[in-house]
Homo-oligomer: A and B are copies of this chain.
Amino acid sequence: MEEVFVAGAAMTRFGKHLERSPRELVEEAVAAALQDAGMEAREVGAVYVGNAVAGLMSGQESIRGQVVLRRTGLMGIPIVNVENACASSSTALHLGWQAIAAGMQDCVLVVGYEKLYDPDRQRSYRAFNASMDLEEMRTRFPEAGATRSVFMDLYASFAGPESEGPAADVEALGMVSVKNHHHGALNPLAQFREEVTLEQVLASRPIAGPLTLLMCSPLSDGAAALVLMAHPRNRSRVRIAASVLTSGRGDDRSRPNAAVRAVGAAYERAGIGPEDLDVVELHDATSIAELQLYEELGLCGKGEAARLILDRVTWLGGQLPVNPSGGLLARGHPIGATGAAQVVELAWQLQGRCGPRQVPEAKVALAQNGGGWVGTDAAACAVHVLIT
């Protein structure tokens, strides 16, 4: 199997780009990623494009990649359009990694993009909510959907009496948001660049259960792109040591969930454990998710997630910074772009390019990206381990 390197990594600023088309966002990210890799479009062998909801947002249901890449000089090579809800571009990354690892391609491009803002906010929520089995959603959350993502109701349900997880500590939930906004304030590409206080987080508009507005990822637009190569021309030594994709357990609650299985396989394939990690980007769709994932990724033991955030272990300057980019909460969450953007951040961290949010001497990094919901679990989860 060939080793796979991240030869180029780039993204647009995430945010509200009402005036920019998906094509413009993608062109910006792709051109910058190719430049970063020192490659030209004609040297790319295949493109894997992750997008989740362009069908419902713009009506461009099919050939989404070809439409946004039309002017990039990439037409003619295989273009694969991939969807896995919020894990769309990490799934695209997994396919790109597979093509290089298998020796079938020398250089591939991975693209994630989303336009989720719309003057009609209900359209955005409708698109977002289509990441759940719609039949199930209408039964479980009959009232929700028109004014917010039902995922917030879903996450809030983990905080109730049936909760298996660590979401009971409201201060910890709030501090996740404070941390990620603190990190986002240091990231020029983040959607939100202002610090928030615990008081502000707790006093912000209630969304669902204990979740307030500032504990929930926002609607965002943006694009991210990665150039993967077996033999990069530049000095990139950011190697993908593991790329694991799983689907959820569906209705079978007796099995470990998708994140636990994916991260277990990723540690094994990379030959590392959580104690080896220097920096993590994980899927903080809400503050609850970040706390749950601390335990599921093995960053702490059962019941210790609140301690990790309250003791500042996962803050920049702590022992294991999590979401130095600002995460979904502050960098933003343009669904189809998020998975690729996590890896952009980690590649930059391992290359020491992150300025005020740089994790010193980061050498081992992990990205976890979840997507959708079916029954008792995420519909998809992808975990990537990067090592330099």
Residues of A within 8 A of B (CB): 52-53, 55-56, 58-64, 66-67, 70, 75-85, 88, 91, 94-95, 98-99, 101-104, 126-127, 130-135, 245-252, 255, 258, 261, 371-375, 379-380
Find chain B residues with CB under 8 A from A371 CB: 62-63
Contact of A374 among B66, B245, B250, B258 (CB under 8 A): B66
| B103/A83 in contact, CB under 8 A | no
| B250/A58 in contact, CB under 8 A | no
- Since A62-B379, A66-B380, A79-B380 are in contact, a sample of 5 more A-B pairs with Cβ atoms closer than 8 Å, ordered by chain A residue number, is A55-B56, A76-B246, A78-B94, A79-B379, A101-B102
| A251/B70 in contact, CB under 8 A | yes
Contact of A76 among B58, B76, B248 (CB under 8 A): B248
| A134/B59 in contact, CB under 8 A | yes
Contact of A63 among B75, B78, B255, B372 (CB under 8 A): B372
Name the distance in Å between A137's Cβ and chain B's nearest Cβ: 10
Chain B residue with minimal CB distance to A78?
B245
Contact of A55 among B94, B101, B130, B258 (CB under 8 A): B130
A-B contact pairs, 10 of them (CB 8 A): A56-B59, A66-B133, A67-B135, A70-B374, A75-B250, A76-B258, A80-B82, A81-B84, A101-B102, A102-B104
Contact of A83 among B53, B64, B85, B98 (CB under 8 A): B64
Contact of A133 among B70, B77, B80, B99 (CB under 8 A): B70
Find chain B residues with CB under 8 A from A85 CB: 62-63
Find chain B residues with CB under 8 A from A248 CB: 66, 75-76
A245 to B375, CA, bound (A): 35
| A67/B374 in contact, CB under 8 A | yes
Contact of A247 among B77, B99, B245 (CB under 8 A): B77
Find chain B residues with CB under 8 A from A79 CB: 84, 247, 379-380
Find chain B residues with CB under 8 A from A62 CB: 52-53, 83-85, 88, 130-131, 371-372, 379
Contact of A81 among B76, B82, B103, B375 (CB under 8 A): B82
Find chain B residues with CB under 8 A from A380 CB: 63, 66, 79
| A61/B53 in contact, CB under 8 A | yes
Instruction: Say whether, besides A55-B56, A81-B83, A372-B66, A247 and B133 are in contact (CB < 8 Å).
Output: no
